[in-house]
Amino acid sequence: MDTQSPPLHVYFLPLLAPGHMIPMVDLARQFARHGVKATFLTTPLNAAKISKAIDREREFGSQISIRLLEFPYKESGLPEGCENLSATTTLEQTFSFFNALDHFQGPIERLAVEDRPDCIVAGPLYTWSNDFAAKFGIPRLSFWGSGFFPVCVHNSLRRHKPHEKIESDTEEFVIPDLPDTLTTTKQQIPESWKDDSENSIKEFQEKLIKEEEGSYGMVVNSFYELEPAYVKHCREVIGKKSWHIGPVSLCNKEEGEKSQRGEAASMGEEECLNWLNSKNPNSVVYVCFGSMSIFSAAQLREIAAGLEASGQPFIWVVKQNTKEEEMKEWMPEGFEERMQDRGLIIRGWAPQVLILDHEALGGFVTHCGWNSLLEGVAAGVPMVTWPLSAEQFFNEKMVTQILKIGVPVGAQAWTKRTDSRAPINRENIEIAVKELMIGEEAEERRSRAIALGNMAKKAVEPGGSSDTDFSSLLEELRKNRNNN
């Protein structure tokens, strides 16, 4: 660290959604541990979820704090309390939420006049953030909460538009100009990535692309050894300045830190650990579909039956239909009694990283959200892949076809939040979980996952690939400041 000049001051402004806020908190803590003054900008309800982690970091001597921004309820027409994307319930609300983010520009500019930050790291949809950075003569770095691989896939589809030559939603076609030969179908591509999408969606997508193209560079929650060909592709073919600085979740070393990530866990750290301690190493399957997914009662019933038939111990995180009377609708009769010793249901929020890192953990059934994928990799855990939406179908291909540490459950198309069907049946789930946990191939998959987990840990140690890239980012930010 340069001790002569004052510390760099960096603003952190994540998209207000758990999958963006959680890694951005870890990222800000990492900057602060490197002597940077880190200011996290967020709204009161979101601040309440992260303040423990920030306070704890400050107790260890880091210069990190939260600055509060009022949420523009009146201007955006959203109901009181809807300060996070996970609280929106309709598409209309989601769009209002995106529009609400425009109202943060004025308050943040007023703060910046006082603070004079040296850089802003912003999540997607703050379409004004490049103008803000230009006004204050500082770089705007983007942090999208995903990896190099999905960025490369998106870029390929946008440039080559292979899907436009395809009639059917289910016909396979190659994603052009990638380091690996991978195929997809039209039904797996996010609507917003297609040119024929609805005008309102398209408009947002165009804003997003413009915003990304105008940013100084990308900070990516990934590590070189995970996706070397895609790091190079992104830098050399797409030509985007980028730094890999992850897995950021690895900055949580103690059990208390791991269990305090995101929301308050619905099950205490001790209860969870006691249950895991009673199980054999590598024996438990952890089932969780991120922070936003909603399943129909019919699909929950199939998951319950599939897990029971698999014969494996499991922890299953259920986020909806969890009131007693609702559970009767989907839970097979006698399920909880039969699973008393074998299964643990967490209703609400699970301490995911704490669970994944436990030695009893043997497999992860995941929706392939980038954070979950990387947390699974960092823990050295093989996965059953069950993508639901967004870029998750591409992330699945990375896990199963490139890294070869996953077994697909067989999801072919997006699961809409309002879907009342059960696209994946109990047999699919049983087969995939058994394949993940039992047999020679399962052992080989596990060995590959453990090797990757070791590489992830090395990457963030002093001199590792992420640590080195992080230092070069700080160096560049300091140079930038001195040149201004």
Query: Which part of the chain contacts ligand UDP (CB under 6 A), choosing from 171-179, 290-298, 402-410, 438-446?
Result: 290-298
Q: What is the CA radius of gyration of the chain?
A: 22
Rounded least distance, CB 153 to ligand UDP, Å: 16
Strands (E), 251-300: 284-288
Residues 348-367 within binding reach of ligand UDP (CB under 6 A): 349-350, 352-353
Least Å distance, CB 124 to ligand UDP, is 12
Q: Does 147 help bind ligand UDP (rule: CB under 6 A)?
A: no
How far is it, in rounded angstroms, from Cα 394 to Cα 305?
A: 28
Q: Dig out the tokens for 104 from the structure.
A: 């943060």
- Look at residue 344 and give its three-state secondary structure: strand
Cα gap 156→387, rounded to integer Å: 20
Q: Which residues pair with 286 in a beta bridge?
A: 315, 364
Neighbours of 74 (CB within 10 A): 9
The binder of ligand UDP chosen from 32, 53, 248, 292 (CB under 6 A): 292
Of 175 and 315, CB closest to ligand UDP: 315
Judged by CB under 6 A, does residue 22 bind ligand UDP?
yes
369 is an interface residue for ligand UDP by CB under 6 A: yes
Q: Is 380 in the site for ligand UDP (CB under 6 A)?
A: no
The answer to whether residue 259 forms part of the interface with ligand UDP (CB under 6 A) is no
Min CB(61)–ligand UDP separation in Å: 26
- For residue 400, give the H/E element and its range: none
Q: Using CB under 6 A, pick the residue from 233, 244, 261, 301 that binds ligand UDP.
A: 261
Binding string, residues 26-45; x marks residues near ligand UDP by CB under 6 A: --------------------
* Pairing between β-strand 64-68 and β-strand 37-42 as defined by DSSP bridges: parallel
For residue 228, whether the previous peptide bond is cis, meaning omega lies within 30 degrees of 0, is no
Instruction: Give the pairing of strands 314-318 and 383-385.
Output: unpaired
Residue in 132, 147, 205, 243 with CA at minimum distance from that of residue 476: 243
Residue 433: other Cβ atoms inside 10 A:
24
Closer residue to ligand UDP, CB minimum distance, 8 or 287 = 287
Least distance CB 192 / ligand UDP (angstroms)? 16
Burial-class residue 258 by CB neighbours within 10 Å (0-12, 13-18, 19+): buried
In whole angstroms, the minimum distance from the beta carbon of 327 to ligand UDP comes to 17
Q: Which tokens in the block code for residue 195?
A: 């040119």
Interface residue with ligand UDP among 83, 302, 308, 375 (CB under 6 A) is 375
Distance between CA atoms of residues 321 and 333, nearest Å: 16
Among residues 262 and 380, whose Cβ is nearest to ligand UDP?
A: 262
3-class secondary structure for 45-105? HHHHHHHHHHHHHHHCCCCEEEEECCCCHHHHCCCCCCCCHHHCCCHHHHHHHHHHHHHHH
Q: How far apart are CA 184 and CA 156, in angstroms?
A: 12
Candidates 215-223, 267-275, 344-352, 475-483: pick the segment binding ligand UDP (CB under 6 A): 344-352
Residues 305-334 that bind ligand UDP (CB under 6 A): 317
For residue 348, give the H/E element and its range. none
CB of 190 to ligand UDP, least distance (A): 13
CB of 367 to ligand UDP, least distance (A): 6
Tell the smallest beta-carbon distance from residue 444 to ligand UDP (Å).
25
Contact segment (CB under 6 A) with ligand UDP among 58-66, 128-136, 154-162, 286-294 equals: 286-294
Q: How far is the CB of 371 from ligand UDP (least distance, A)?
A: 3
Q: Is 19 in the site for ligand UDP (CB under 6 A)?
A: yes
String marking each residue 212-241 x if it binds ligand UDP according to CB under 6 A: ------------------------------
| Closest distance to ligand UDP from the beta carbon of 27 (Å) | 12
- Report the C-alpha gap between 75 and 73 in whole angstroms: 6
Residue 95 backbone dihedrals phi, psi, to 5 degrees: -65, -40
Q: Does residue 433 belong to the site contacting ligand UDP (CB under 6 A)? A: no
CB nearer ligand UDP, residue 13 or residue 292: 292
Q: Which stretch binds ligand UDP (CB under 6 A): 233-241, 268-276, 289-297, 468-476?
A: 289-297
Nearer to ligand UDP, 357 or 430 (CB): 357
Report the candidate in 423, 421, 422 with the shortest Cα–Cα distance to residue 413.
Answer: 423
Backbone CA torsion sign across 153, 154, 160, 163? positive
If residue 203 lies in a helix (H) or strand (E), which one and from where to where?
helix 199-213
Contacts with ligand UDP by CB under 6 A lie at: 18-19, 22, 261-262, 288, 290-292, 317, 349-350, 352-353, 369-372, 375
